[in-house]
Structure 1
Amino acid sequence: MPAKTIEPGNPVKQFSVLLPNRAGALASLVKLLRGAAIEVVGISVQDSRDATIARLVVTDPDTAEQIFVEKGIPHTTCDLLVISLRESGPELLPVLDTLMVAETNIDFAYALMPSPQGHSLLALHVEDYDFAVTVLNSAGFKLVCQEELSR
């Protein structure tokens, strides 16, 4: 189990962006962000017939939100719990078991791009963010804040 660390800082912000379901829509969004020196460090895409929901974690969420508002890009935000895993396979089960014992539900999860230190990053949206932070910190897991993703 990882050493106990409590990281100060802001929660990681996720954007859920509504995109038309057509070739190049996601690439155009990433190019728009990159034009403002914003990198996408996490992505999950849910496809449907008419539209796509792209869940994005970016290096500069404040500027990204300004761009989305200025360009009229439909989006919502939520806080994610991000855990740094030195070994992605072996460390996943203890995270899930810890949350299960605490009776905390996971709404969705996905992997982010590896951290600059090469660690795997697991993004979780949980039913009670503050409670899950307390539980995982108490169990010794390394939580990542937004400032650590803003490379």
Structure 2
Amino acid sequence: MSFGEGAGSEVDFETMQGRNWPSLTQFSVFLENRVGQLLEVIRAFNGSKVKIVGLTISDSADCSILRLVLSHPEQGREILALHKLAFAENELLGAELPTGPGSLADLCAALLQAEINIHYAYPLIIHPHGRCAVALHVDNIEQAGTALHAMGFEIVCEADLSA
């Protein structure tokens, strides 16, 4: 499922959360800054259908923030809660990078042209259609998705990650 596929600049349905554009759910898990915390979180998903498809870690002296994109966010939410892990959720935009040189620069240029700020980005481990993809936290997901789609980028949604 790709952004705007056969439907202009918007998806032709509305999600349960009232969105009519594709996004990825990011879980920010708050961890003590001590050895073994990452492994404990990763092991929490063992035996489930939930796969970690993207991750990044921000570290400070007292705590760490593990940012995760999961293949099945609903089940991932349940697993995190079951393991009593403190977490928050927010939306990211996923975009596939075309093959060839300059694709990341083209993505940044498209967002700059649309005056959309990238707060942070990280690669997705899963390549939904065989191409590299990135998760982006941006000022406005809807405008960013529209701008990138207009420049020929394929937008990744959660359904692409669970296949």
Task: Report if TM-score (shorter chain) is over 0.5.
Answer: yes
Q: Give yes or no for contact 1:17–1:75 (8 Å, CA) kept in 2.
A: yes
**Sequence identity percentage:** 33
SS at the partner of 2:40?
A: helix
Query: Does residue 1:97 correspond to 2:139, yes or no?
Result: no
Unaligned runs of 5+ in 1: none
Q: TM-score, normalised by structure 2?
A: 0.83
Query: Does residue 1:113 correspond to 2:111, yes or no?
Result: no
Aligned counterpart for 1:18 among listed residues 27, 30, 35: 30
Aligned counterpart for 1:52 among listed residues 64, 81, 90: 64
SS at the partner of 1:131?
A: helix
CA shift, 1:88, in A, is 6.8
Aligned pairs for 1:57-136 within 5 A: 57-87=69-99, 89-136=101-148
Corresponding residue pairs, total: 148
Distance 1:116 1:145, change over 3 A: closer
CA shift, 1:137, in A, is 1.3
Q: Give yes or no for contact 2:128–2:160 (8 Å, CA) kept in 1.
A: no
CA shift, 1:59, in A, is 0.8
The separation in 2 between residues aligned to 1:114 and 1:147, in whole angstroms, is 12
SS at the partner of 1:35?
A: coil
Distance 1:10 1:128, change over 3 A: closer
SS at the partner of 2:25?
A: strand
Q: TM-score, normalised by structure 1?
A: 0.89
Q: Give yes or no for contact 1:5–1:141 (8 Å, CA) kept in 2.
A: no
Query: Which structure shows the higher strand fraction?
Result: 1
Structure with the bigger RCO (C-alpha within 8 Å, sep 6+) is: 1
Query: Which structure shows the higher helix fraction?
Result: 1
Deviations along 1:82-121, one digit per CA (max 9) or x if unpaired, are 1111337521011100100111111111111141543111
Q: Give yes or no for contact 1:11–1:145 (8 Å, CA) kept in 2.
A: yes
Deviations along 1:128-149, one digit per CA (max 9) or x if unpaired, are 1111111111121101100100
Which amino acid in the other structure matches residue 51 of structure 2? E
